[in-house]
Structure 1
């Protein structure tokens, strides 16, 4: 594909084709990934406008140079208090775009290669927190299953602690997501995760019985999602977070150790991974269970498990050293806003 020498056409063509061709058509990324990439571009364009007085019409590919991107990352860290994980996410988007630029517009390859060389910021390694069985029981005890909200929350907790699915996957579940396998009389949860990858997860008998009671009691068989809020709309990600935080606060009176942990919805994924690891399940199976693209992502749980064991040994006083609806637009910002 050839690009016009006109600055506006060139940058708009590169960015829009990056979204339309590379991300959507070729890679088939999810809407959440599109939103993440879109937000990075919008923030960067706004940064160029405010800090360099460059209007969107005059943005050139040279504005994605190594020097300017480094200044942008410094701005995010110092002015917006972005953490390393956010900085690395923004940089990853720019890296991916510049690789596309080098491939599609070789005349810009020198600029692209230098920008791609910007290293990711080192992230502080934190001990992975997870919810113990006693703490989970305390949370479950706070749900009054004689009411709709109470039973819904209990089902939500059981599915999260049983499967470790992502919150985006949780709120997308409907009755068809649950299927009984006649051969072994077990129920499995069918989930579509990141990158539209499908995986099948076994459910505990207690989880299955609770889901059936909930769905049949409140006639949710034909709903687009089984998790409905009090306004009869689909429960949102923020709605799940709100309910979990409320249950945590209530459960902390029964189990004070919950107050010592920074627990979020994502902690349930950590909990499932740690439970599987400590039960002897191999790391490759855990990676498939959680829907990780790389086993390296799952490896952190093995490191966390070893650290927990090391601290237990120290506490015991033992020394052990072994341990496509999108369309192009002439206005770049308008195009990004519609993604």
Structure 2
């Protein structure tokens, strides 16, 4: 049986009709098979179109996984993610082509590789304040970037989730944010009133007019489209790099460290793990348990002062409005030249 026949069923029917996978998941799966097909054709010495389902031997899969680590220098985590895609494909084979169950089972029996689990890299209170203060509000998109950073820390949302936020995702009156997370599941999180004010100020005064297709989205880029996950990653990396030394940056994932920092903040605030789990949208409580391994005893003493900072920093004073009014930039520059 041609492998291409199974692949068409996998992408055209199984992922969408059976599993209701997201477009982002499908895109990731396609990337895995693109790499796998190229390797398998070379390994088997045939053209891609001639690969048979029966060619999916244990030796082929294991050689592919070794190739990912040795040649492509993928991490064990990435290697395991690629294997998970192949296992999802194997589950489809068992369901749609039960006569080839033995092929599916040999793939499903390949174990995940154990990897060293690193501690969650999070920002201290002082570092969070430095990152917030590093945003130049007088620059174009400065206030948008400031709003994104504050929202990511407060909500603990993933970069992709922030990019997908819509104008009606926030309930200003109740200070609630509705986030569309993994698996198409919504979650409702409580955010600080100050964060609500910052978002409202951004929408009213600094949000670019988007193109028609992206009019419903909250955060807009220079192309007048919604900000992508990669765009938000770059924003986070930009401001973290301004305030942290190189050796510290190596310990952090620029966008995800805000999510970890939110969890640590909630833990120090005495929130139960179940509350943190729901706030972050973890599917399994084990994902939330990693924060219990952190030594936070020395950091609790500065926690109260940080809360006061995050809730009392003003954003809507007339002085700030004048400073960040980009439409008046020529007048401001002329005034500076005359100093």
* Structure 1 unpaired stretches of 5+: 1-6, 313-339
TM-score for the superposition, normalised by structure 2? 0.80
Q: Following superposition, which runs of at least 4 residues in structure 1 exceed 6 angstroms of deviation?
A: none
What is the aligned partner in structure 1 of residue 102 from structure 2?
Answer: 110
Give the secondary-structure state (helix, strand or coil) at the position aligned to 1:285.
Answer: helix
Unaligned runs of 5+ in 2: 300-339
**Distance (Å, rounded) in 2 between the aligned partners of 1:116 and 1:219:** 48
Q: Which residue of 2 aligns with 1:190?
A: 178
Matched, 1:17 2:9: yes
Residue 80 of structure 1 aligns to a residue whose secondary structure is: coil
CA contact (8 A) 1:228 1:234 kept: yes
Go from structure 1 to structure 2 and tell me whether the alpha carbon gap of 1:310 and 1:75 turns closer, same or farther (over 3 Å shift).
Answer: farther
Other structure's SS at 2:282 match: coil
Query: Separation in 1 of the partners of 2:192 and 2:263?
Result: 16
Mapped to 1, the partners of 2:243 and 2:51 lie a distance apart of: 53
How many pairs does the alignment contain? 295
Quickly say closer, same or farther: Cα 1:243–1:103, change in 2 above 3 A.
closer
Partner of 1:204: 192
Task: Select 1:294's aligned residue among 257, 260, 284.
Answer: 284
Whether 2:230 is the aligned partner of 1:265: answer no
* Alpha-carbon distance in structure 2 between the residues aligned to 1:51 and 1:257: 40
Q: Check whether the contact 1:174–1:221 (CA below 8 A) recurs between aligned residues.
A: no
Which position in structure 2 is the counterpart of 1:326? none
CA–CA distance in 2 between the matches of 1:241 and 1:190?
21
Give 2:272's match in structure 1, choosing from 276, 279, 282: 282
Correspondence for 2:81 among 77, 86, 89: 89
Matches within 5 A, 1:158-177: 158-177=150-169
The equivalent position to 1:136 in structure 2, one of 128, 139, 162, is: 128
Equivalent residue for 1:228?
A: 220
Cα RMSD for the two superposed structures: 2.3
Q: Tell me, what secondary structure is at the counterpart of 2:123?
A: coil
- Contact 1:65 1:114 (C-alpha < 8 Å) held by counterparts: yes
Kept in 2, the 8 Å contact 1:171–1:237? The answer is yes
CA-to-aligned-CA distance 1:63-111 (integer Å, 9 cap, x gap): 2221210111111111111110011001111112112212322222222
Q: Among residues 40, 48, 51, which one is paired with 1:48 in the alignment?
A: 40
Report the Cα offset of residue 136 of structure 1: 0.7
2 CA distance for matches of 1:257 and 1:174? 36
Give the conservation status (yes or no) of the 8 Å contact 1:248–1:258: no
For residue 234 of structure 1, report the CA deviation from its aligned partner.
2.8
Residue-by-residue CA offset, 1:15-46 (whole Å, 9 max, x unaligned):
22222332111221111110111111111111
- Taking CA–CA contacts closer than 8 Å with sequence separation of 6 or more, which of the two structures ends up with the larger relative contact order? 1
Contact 1:135 1:258 in 2 (8 A): no
Any idea what SS the aligned residue of 1:190 has? strand
